[in-house]
Chains A and B, each alone.
Chain A
Amino acid sequence: MLGYTIKRLLLLIPVFLAVSVVIFSIIHLIPGDPVDNLLRVGSGPEQRAIIEARYGLDRPLPVQYAIWLGKVLTGDLGTAIVGQRPVIDLVGQALPYSLALGASALLFSTVVGITVGVIAALKQGTWVDQTLMGGVLLGSTVPGFWLGLLLILLFAVQLGWFPVSGARGWTSLVLPVLTIGLGGMALVARITRVSMIEAAQRDFVMLLHAKGMHPMRIQLRHVLRHALIPVVTILALRIGWVLGGAVTVEVVFARPGLGTLLIKALNQHDYPVVQACLLMLAMAVMLGTLLGDIVQAAMDPRVRAAIA
């Protein structure tokens, strides 16, 4: 298991390098001079010189990349154009909010999604199944930010149960988690249902029935366990989607997380912040996927064998 984890970690290095090249290139791919893009409008020649020296902009591109990567790896993410604060501080402030939201949303989608999927599978073909799956379809087709706005209108404005926006206390977490969670839950529920139904047709299930085991016990102890493997696979693949959802939803609820920071920076053309946020989010996706893979390997020895 440890060997597997180390191997997967090593496999992340080339991915990280590839992603960092893309994010590094942003500053050179956007129209205009990279120095101008890194400066506030109206900056004097001395600031220009500082930027040029700092990023080594007169050197060949691969050298520039190496300088940039070296700085990033030592935690130096540059200075924000708007506000002139070190980017690492901005990111450091925002990160905990995003992590709290992402983790809670993931937990919510997993627990609720599996529960809904199991109930739908047990009641397959009945109105319970159809209602649940209809609701799930609705949950996965509604734009996340819009769902968030509706929840604000209903629960925060009309009923006054939760705060409209901000990030004070756990109550401010409820509506954002619900917003992201409903989309993620839909995916988990659909896969759980299908894979429960498929697993229930296996021979070993028939044997358990023939042995006279209680049907409910068969479903929950044996079929569900079997059915969870594809669910974990998909969850591992799609952890990034939950984080992606966090980006949009943070903006709606004005949570001071990475998503809000990124969108603000994009609108203000604050490229050092944009690069840092994208890098952080990409790393979160990579680590999330890694975590999912490790859980999957822990659950299913076949996966471990495949890569070892």
Chain B
Amino acid sequence: MTSTVAPPSIRHSRLGQIAVIRALFTVKGAIAGGWILALVLVAVFAPYLTSYGYDIQNLPNAFSPPDATHWLGTDEFGRDVLTRMMYGARTSLTVSSVAIGISVFIGMVLGAAAGYFGGRFDRAVTVVVDLTWSFPEILVALILVAIIGPGVTGTMAAIAVAYLAQFTRLTRAQIMAIKNETYVEAARSLGASHTHILFRHLIPNALAPVLVSAMLATGDAIILEATLGFFGLGAQPPTPSWGGMMSSGTALMFRAPWIIIIPGLAVAITVIAINLYGDALIRALDLRNRMREG
């Protein structure tokens, strides 16, 4: 396999940091990045942005449509939907990004080791990865939830395992493509250890595509989290999550459609934003060819 990877001097961390900003210079990138940033800020500062509590019930005021006091209306317990959306953003963003973080970490270690050392370990990893790869994430996630049980922990584990194959595959392919480059050979001939070569040369060079695909996967993970929440298997009440809100809203959707429309819209916009920003990032980093998995 030939590769057109730039030498390590250019590909080191500084360029990556700039590219994250540079991706914002396009119209799509700016809108998408702006939405993601705003959402993160809302999630972090939720208690300061709303005067309602996410679990404060106000039964006489249940099912009130969106108006001046409750911008996005109230749900079946009279709770403010906007407030629950803000706290729900906390659940959705934390669960999906932490889960993807764990998944990327394990996937990179497995993929890098498999790609670098090859041999029996590589074959074992490949067999397991190909096995999970052929199953839809939702099915893998449901098996995990069946084992660990519903809730935030179960959801995180389910998402982390469901996407593990993807990151392992991608990292492995990246490492395979560069492990015989001349600079690696040079390092080896200078007596560098395997650990040094892996962590100082190979992984930094394989990082960019993996991190971008991790970002795109976070978008999918938000959908998966919402889906599990919708099945009643995600964060348990009264903790608000977007999926959970839609789950309880389904029975009431003819009476108060906003209870399901709003969280779904938030999921859709967020996932689109993540995709558009990811595209801008791929362009800024010039990764188009390297994002293809091996």
Give me the interface of A with B, judged by CB distance under 8 Å: 15, 18-19, 22-23, 25-26, 29-31, 137-138, 141-146, 149-150, 152-153, 157, 237, 240-241, 243-245, 247-248, 251-252, 262-263, 266-267, 271, 274, 278, 281-282, 285-286, 289
Interface of A is mostly: helix
CB-CB nearest 9 A-B residue pairs: A244-B136, A146-B264, A141-B271, A244-B138, A240-B136, A29-B147, A142-B268, A143-B223, A141-B272
- 20 pairs across A/B with beta carbons < 8 Å? A22-B143, A23-B143, A26-B146, A30-B149, A138-B272, A141-B223, A141-B268, A141-B272, A145-B227, A149-B246, A153-B257, A240-B136, A244-B137, A248-B227, A248-B230, A263-B231, A266-B233, A282-B139, A285-B134, A285-B135
Bound form: Cα–Cα A143–B233 in Å? 16
Q: Is the CB of B272 within 8 A of A266?
A: no
Tell me, yes or no, whether B281 is within 8 Å of chain A by CB: no
Q: Is the CB of A285 within 8 A of B264?
A: no
Give the chain A neighbours of B275 by CB distance below 8 A: 137, 141
Give me the interface of B with A, judged by CB distance under 8 Å: 131, 134-139, 142-143, 145-150, 219, 223, 226-227, 230-233, 246, 250, 253-254, 257, 260-261, 263-264, 267-268, 271-272, 275
Bound form: Cα–Cα A30–B275 in Å? 36
Residue of B nearest to A153 (CB): B257
Bound form: Cα–Cα A220–B257 in Å? 45
Give the chain B neighbours of A143 by CB distance below 8 A: 223, 226-227, 230, 264, 267-268
Residue of A nearest to B260 (CB): A149
Give the chain B neighbours of A138 by CB distance below 8 A: 268, 272
Q: Is the CB of A248 within 8 A of B267?
A: no
Bound form: Cα–Cα A282–B142 in Å? 11
Give the chain B neighbours of A278 by CB distance below 8 A: 139, 142-143, 146
Residue of A nearest to B225 (CB): A143
Q: Is the CB of A267 within 8 A of B233?
A: yes
Q: Is the CB of B147 within 8 A of A26?
A: yes
Q: Is the CB of A240 within 8 A of B135?
A: yes
Give the chain A neighbours of B150 by CB distance below 8 A: 266-267
Give the chain B neighbours of A282 by CB distance below 8 A: 135, 139
Bound form: Cα–Cα A200–B136 in Å? 32
Bound form: Cα–Cα A30–B272 in Å? 36
Bound form: Cα–Cα A82–B138 in Å? 24
Q: Is the CB of B250 within 8 A of A149?
A: yes
Bound form: Cα–Cα A278–B146 in Å? 10
Give the chain A neighbours of B226 by CB distance below 8 A: 143, 146
Give the chain B neighbours of A251 by CB distance below 8 A: 230-231
Question: Would you give the shortest CB distance from B276 to chain A, in whole angstroms?
Answer: 8
Give the chain A neighbours of B139 by CB distance below 8 A: 240, 243-244, 247, 278, 281-282, 285
Bound form: Cα–Cα A263–B146 in Å? 10
Bound form: Cα–Cα A152–B246 in Å? 14
Q: Is the CB of A150 within 8 A of B261?
A: yes
Which of B136, B142, B254, B268 meets A146, CB within 8 Å?
Answer: B268
Bound form: Cα–Cα A78–B137 in Å? 27
Residue of A nearest to B274 (CB): A141
Give the chain B neighbours of A25 by CB distance below 8 A: 147
Give the chain A neighbours of B267 by CB distance below 8 A: 142-143, 146
Bound form: Cα–Cα A33–B276 in Å? 48
Give the chain A neighbours of B142 by CB distance below 8 A: 247, 262, 266, 278
Give the chain A neighbours of B227 by CB distance below 8 A: 143-145, 248
Give the chain A neighbours of B143 by CB distance below 8 A: 22-23, 26, 278
Q: A18-B131, A267-B231 are in contact. List 17 more A-B contacts (CB 8 A).
A: A15-B131, A30-B147, A141-B223, A142-B268, A143-B264, A143-B268, A146-B226, A149-B250, A149-B260, A150-B261, A240-B136, A241-B136, A248-B138, A248-B227, A248-B231, A285-B135, A286-B134
Give the chain B neighbours of A144 by CB distance below 8 A: 227
Residue of B nearest to A236 (CB): B134
Bound form: Cα–Cα A281–B141 in Å? 13
Residue of B nearest to A141 (CB): B271
Give the chain A neighbours of B271 by CB distance below 8 A: 141-142
Question: Would you give the shortest CB distance from B29 to chain A, in whole angstroms?
Answer: 15
Residue of B nearest to A144 (CB): B227
Q: Is the CB of B268 within 8 A of A243?
A: no
Bound form: Cα–Cα A23–B267 in Å? 31
Bound form: Cα–Cα A15–B130 in Å? 10
Give the chain A neighbours of B145 by CB distance below 8 A: 266
Residue of A nearest to B279 (CB): A137
Residue of B nearest to A269 (CB): B149
Question: Would you give the shortest CB distance from A286 to chain B, in whole angstroms?
Answer: 7
Give the chain B neighbours of A266 by CB distance below 8 A: 142, 145-146, 150, 231, 233
Known pairs A144-B227, A145-B227; A30 contacts B138 (CB<8 A): no
Question: Would you give the shortest CB distance from A108 to chain B, in whole angstroms?
Answer: 17
